[in-house]
Amino acid sequence: MTMSTFAVLVLLVITFTYSVAADNKPEQIHIAYTGILSERIVNYVTPSPDLQPETVVAYGSSPDKLTRKETGTSFKFGTHEGHYFMIHNVKNERTLRTSFLEKSVKGDKARTLQFSSSVIVFLECHAIFYLGLILRHVIKLTGLELNKRYYYQVGVPDNGTSDVMSFFTKDGNPVFAIYGDMGYVNAVSLDRLKKEADDGGFDAVIHAGDLAYDMYEGDGTIGNEFMNSIQPIATKVPYMALPGNHEQMYNFTHFVHRFSNMELGVGQTSGSGTSLWWSMDIGLIHFVAFDSEVYHYYRDKANQNRERTPWIVSLAHKAWFMEKTDFSVFGPLLHKYGVDLHLCGHAHNYQRLYPTYNDSVEYPTDNHVYVNPKFKTVIVAGSAGSPEKLSNWTHAPERMSAKYIYDYGYGHLQAMNQTHLYWSWENTHENVRPVMQDYLWIVQEHHGPRPSLFDEEQYQGLKELKDVKSESVEV
Ligand SMILES: *[C@@H]1O[C@H](CO)[C@@H](O)[C@H](O)[C@H]1NC(C)=O
Ligand SMILES: *[C@@H]1O[C@H](CO)[C@@H](O)[C@H](O)[C@H]1NC(C)=O
Ligand SMILES: *[C@@H]1O[C@H](CO)[C@@H](O)[C@H](O)[C@H]1NC(C)=O
Ligand SMILES: *[C@@H]1O[C@H](CO)[C@@H](O)[C@H](O)[C@H]1NC(C)=O
Ligand SMILES: *[C@@H]1O[C@H](CO)[C@@H](O)[C@H](O)[C@H]1NC(C)=O
């Protein structure tokens, strides 16, 4: 063999090896909290339909010394075919979006049934849908030290590896970037979020429903593109998500699979066993995320550790005044358990309410400082940017509204100490340098459950009724 033939062969081997690896480079990488401070849980996808690489994270305290290795589990899937009943509860039949019906039914039967005061629509559909993903990997990293930067790389050398990335395990009270309703198209806040993640402007993200618009579109390609678009943020800080109405399709399948690190992380730790509703303690805050699309009753242990986590922040895609949702169970629960703040999206605008419960409003002397409020505060931050743009619909009643902003942006939340919780909201309108548009201090010296304002017995009855309504069955 001549020297040149040898060189060509070597080159061929290198090219071949390289292209296999390049084709199967891990993507859609994102990390999450598990609810245990010394842990992070990594989720990524390898796109090749032929290769089945091992699930591995190599990590360490410097980028060239990834001396520790953790393995995990992978799930293979592509096309799903099934026969479903979807139960969609609408308060008023006229408000049912026909597009939802069209997309869901795909030529099959739909029938409606009067139930109590609501109309329930049974959508019986035979659906074939594509998850647009081939192999999803989940790995839990445990025993991490606090206040330390970890460098990590996912994948195996023979079958494609990611770049070396890093995250910081901050102790103390993190700053959370919070928003709902960010899509792949018209993600106005994305550049600002990426820059802030680079600069360490926040320590974690909470995306309160409506992601990608929609993850199942284009046989899942929109979901893939979206997950890749948030990767520069979600590989640096935990990206925590909860579902909104845009995730409902096919029984939340895309959300559940793409955020399986939430199910195996906070879902497992909190005991909910799912990514659709969960809770976690981070710093001085106990977060409770629930799904405002279905009546799910989740008896959370919010008040067990009120000494350690005095603040309770609830998260859902919607607030009580929004359409096609029913807070007749959630409302009294959040009030009774002394939730301080409820954060949501859905309306594509920004709204801050006064402390309210049911019909009662408390007007503070300073619009930006709520001192020992008797009721919880609701904040809507649903304008991170989506193809649906901004909207003026879904206003809270005028007399309850402390601030309303029609612009793109997202908020920051931080518990300063036992008594002071700080929130701010900055706009991220294209070509405009973000400027703080609103802020709020909640000062609370008496954390804890509130006197029950509702009849337990009546409430139990209501809860049972909702539980019946929320059942869905696969046949
Ligand atoms: C790489 O992929 C091949 C083909 O799926 C598989 O046989 C092999 O075990 C993988 N190697 C590693 C280290 O994961
Ligand atoms: C929405 O309301 C804001 C003021 O509250 C107003 O400035 C804006 O023009 C409105 N936009 C539309 C599209 O109606
Ligand atoms: C709590 O934080 C606030 C705001 O930073 C500060 O004014 C207050 O003194 C702090 N309270 C305690 C007890 O440290
Ligand atoms: C809420 O307000 C309505 C109307 O004022 C009242 O009838 C109802 O009893 C209140 N509900 C609760 C749980 O306080
Ligand atoms: C919907 O998904 C949940 C898990 O997230 C599962 O328990 C349930 O059986 C599914 N329902 C249908 C109709 O597929």
How many angstroms does the Cα of residue 224 sit away from the middle of ligand 4? 45
| Orientation angle between helical segments 221-229 and 249-258, nearest 10 degrees | 40
Instruction: Name residue 474's beta-bridge partners.
Output: 84
Q: Which of 81, 251, 296 to mutate to test the pocket of ligand 5 (most atoms within 8 A of CB)?
A: 251
3-class DSSP assignment, residue 347: coil
88-131 pLDDT, tens digit per residue, is 444 333 333 333 333 443 333 333 333 333 344 444 444 555 55
What pLDDT was estimated at residue 250? Answer: 73
- As a whole number of Å, the CA-based R_g of the chain is 23
Question: Contact 346/245 with Cβ under 8 angstroms?
Answer: yes
pLDDT digits (tens, 9 = 90+) for 417-462: 999 999 999 999 877 888 999 999 999 999 988 876 656 565 565 5
| Model pLDDT, residue 17 | 41
Q: Does domain 172-253+293-467 have CATH number 3.30.950.10?
A: no
* Residue 119 pLDDT: 40
Angle at 25 between CA 21 and CA 31, to 5 degrees: 145
158 lines ligand 1 (CB under 6 A): yes
Tell me how crowded residue 318 is: count the other CB atoms within 10 A of its CB.
28
pLDDT digits (tens, 9 = 90+) for 171-226: 999 999 999 999 999 999 999 999 999 999 999 999 999 999 999 888 788 999 99
Domain boundaries along the sequence of the chain: 23-83+128-171, 172-253+293-467
* CATH 3.30.360.10 for domain 23-83+128-171: no
Beta strands in 135-269 (DSSP E): 135-141, 149-156, 160-161, 165-168, 176-179, 182-183, 204-208, 211-212, 239-242
Q: Quick one: residue 409, left, alpha or beta (phi over 0 = left, psi -120 to 50 = alpha)?
A: left
DSSP designation for 38: T
Is residue 408's pLDDT more than 50?
A: yes
Residue 188: strand, helix, or coil = coil
Q: Strand pairing of 40-46 and 165-168?
A: unpaired
33-55: per-residue pLDDT in tens? 999 999 999 999 998 877 889 99
CA trace torsion 18, 20, 26, 28 (10° rounding)? 110
Q: 77 alpha carbon to ligand 1 midpoint, in Å?
A: 17
